[in-house]
Amino acid sequence: MALGRKISVVILAAGEGTRMKSDTPKVLFPLCGRPMVDYVLDAASCVNPEKIVIVIGRRGEVVAERVTEGWARDRDRADLVRFAWQPERRGTGHAVSCAMEQIPVCDDVMILCGDTPLITGDMLVRLFESHLSAKAHVSLVTAVVDDPGDYGRMRRDATGAVLGIVEAKDLLPGDGHIREINAGIYIVNKGILAELVSTLDDRNAKGEFYLTDIVEKAAQAGYAVNAFVCEDASLIQGVNDRYALAFAESRLRETVIRNLCLGGVAVRDPRNTYIDPGVTIGRDTIIEPGTFLRGKTAIGRECIIGPGTEIIDSQVGDNTEIWRSVVEASTVGNHVSIGPFSHIRPGSVIEDYVSVGNFAEVKNSRIGLGSKIHHHSYIGDCTMGSNVNIGAGTVTVNYDGHRKHRTVIGDNAFIGCNANLIAPVRIGKASYVAAGSTVTQDVPDGALGIARERQVNKEGWVAKRRQKLD
């Protein structure tokens, strides 16, 4: 990137994550639907690195698989990412030494932790710029906080020059006042990194090779150490346990919702609304409480979404209302009304002015312009024309216990209540299906299909029966 300097990134992700109390590797815990490490990868790629080396350890094959099939699925990204194996967990310094062989020829190495998902590309770019303008050999991000907790503390001398980092477990009585913490984000000149890491030892409270010790070693050797103070400490939060994870997730959610609101979306109750990063929403759309918008979802303008709605990986047009309903992997048009209590399952296309009402389910179907599906209906594997009226309780019987079959319903057809349409079957244009029919044969255009027993009325039957019983 800048000034022709080449940088590579190392992401440390081999820790046991003991404090998560889980079999899942820590960096794979999700935040708003994506694993933590993906956010770190997003930020890392902003400095335009030569390579990103991810250090993996116990259950590392799971991490490698998830990254390869997820974040690095595209070819460019696949070429960018490499994995380095840390055979046993012997500390962050040891983890970096395990990565050294995988780092290509470059000037600087940026080191990140896989468990700081809120870091931003902007912050890393600014760190790199500050590293270059300070002509530093070692740069690191710090922040001043009220409660330094488990973070490493920055030791400085009276002039403010960095002396080193002391880990929380190794604090000496004189360190108690320090409020400046180490964020675990570094840029080190590559040659100097190799030299410093090779001199680390594990004589400390945890018996680990601390990467943090390179800062003191660099200062003592007379290398230029540059501390980049991050003004917003919440961005560098490390996630070591599930409480911190919940906290980080709510922080991320807050940012997502703030950006949407500033872009013209009305979010009625931000604390009770769950929107993944990457979801797009048009102006003047109202998001009611209890709504979850997940994955690659895009919603148009002037919609009302919620209360109590979940939309996953779906596109929704303008002026559409979806309340107390679930929509998955589907496309919904403009001026559509869905809900309450409806389920649009994957593979559905709901065209403009459609209304899908109370307790209706639609799966893998195309519903044409202006059609209406209300009251406890199930429409699965169906191609429906425009202005079709589906009566209460209508079911497309699409499954014969072995295979799925399609139902085709022409424009302007009227399906009476409680009809079973046994697929494969075709209901013609502008035809009628009588209520209560079990339709097993095609209904021609403009015809009435009746498939039910004729009614028989037995005159005087009640009186006769009573006489018999008396």
Which residue numbers are catalytic? 375
Helices 190-198 and 92-99 pack at an angle, to 10 degrees, of 130
Count the residues of the shown chain that bind Ca ion, applying the rule CB under 5 A: 3
Kindly identify the residues of this chain, within the stretch 409-428, that bind Ca ion according to CB under 5 A. Answer: none
**Least separation, in Å, of the C-beta of 248 and ligand UD1?**
12
**Least separation, in Å, of the C-beta of 55 and Ca ion?**
14
Distance CA 385, CA 63 (A): 46
Distance CA 429, CA 442 (A): 11
**Among residues 164, 238, 300, 317, which is the contact residue for Ca ion, using CB under 5 A?**
238
Should residue 208 be labelled a site residue for Ca ion when binding is judged by CB under 5 A?
no
Segment contacting Ca ion by CB under 5 A, of 109-117, 171-179, 266-274, 417-425: 109-117
Q: Indicate which of Ca ion, ligand UD1, none lies near residue 398 (CB less than 5 to 8 Å, by partner kind).
A: none
Which one, of 264, 329, 258, lies nearest residue 303 by Cα? 264
| Chain residue whose CB lies nearest Ca ion | 238
Q: Indicate which of ligand UD1, Ca ion, none lies near residue 95 (CB less than 5 to 8 Å, by partner kind).
A: ligand UD1
Q: Indicate which of Ca ion, ligand UD1, none lies near residue 407 (CB less than 5 to 8 Å, by partner kind).
A: none
**Least separation, in Å, of the C-beta of 204 and ligand UD1?**
8
**Least separation, in Å, of the C-beta of 146 and Ca ion?**
19
**Least separation, in Å, of the C-beta of 240 and ligand UD1?**
6
**Least separation, in Å, of the C-beta of 174 and ligand UD1?**
18
| Chain residue whose CB lies nearest ligand UD1 | 152
Q: Please state the three-class secondary structure of the chain as a single string.
A: CHHHCCEEEEEEECCCCHHHCCCCCHHHCEECCEEHHHHHHHHHHCCCCCCEEEEECCCHHHHHHHHHHCCCCCHHHHHHEEEEECCCCCCHHHHHHHHHHHCCCCCEEEEEECCCCCCCHHHHHHHHHHHHHCCCCEEEEEEECCCCCCCCEEEECCCCCEEEEECHHHCCHHHCCCCEEEEEEEEEEHHHHHHHHHCCCCCCCCCCCCCCHHHHHHHHCCCCEEEEECCCHHHHCCCCCHHHHHHHHHHHHHHHHHHHHHCCCEECCHHHEEECCCCEECCCCEECCCEEEECCCEECCCCEECCCCEEECCEECCCCEECCCEEECCEECCCCEECCCCEECCCCEECCCCEECCCCEEECCEECCCCEECCCCEEECEEECCCCEECCCCEEECECCCCECCEEECCCCEECCCCEEECCEEECCCCEECCCCEECCCECCCCEECCCCCCCCCCCHHHHHHHHHC
Nearer to ligand UD1, 209 or 378 (CB): 209
Q: Indicate which of ligand UD1, Ca ion, none lies near residue 14 (CB less than 5 to 8 Å, by partner kind).
A: ligand UD1
**Least separation, in Å, of the C-beta of 191 and ligand UD1?**
21
Q: Which residues bind ligand UD1 (CB under 6 A)?
A: 12-15, 55, 57, 86, 89-92, 94-95, 113-116, 150-152, 165, 167, 181-184, 210-212, 238, 240
Q: Indicate which of ligand UD1, Ca ion, none lies near residue 114 (CB less than 5 to 8 Å, by partner kind).
A: ligand UD1
Nearer to ligand UD1, 204 or 280 (CB): 204
Kindly identify the residues of this chain, within the stretch 114-153, that bind Ca ion according to CB under 5 A. Answer: 115
Segment contacting Ca ion by CB under 5 A, of 113-121, 156-164, 173-181, 389-397: 113-121
Which one, of 354, 332, 327, 331, lies nearest residue 343 by Cα? 327
* Binding footprint of Ca ion on the chain (CB under 5 A): 115, 238, 240
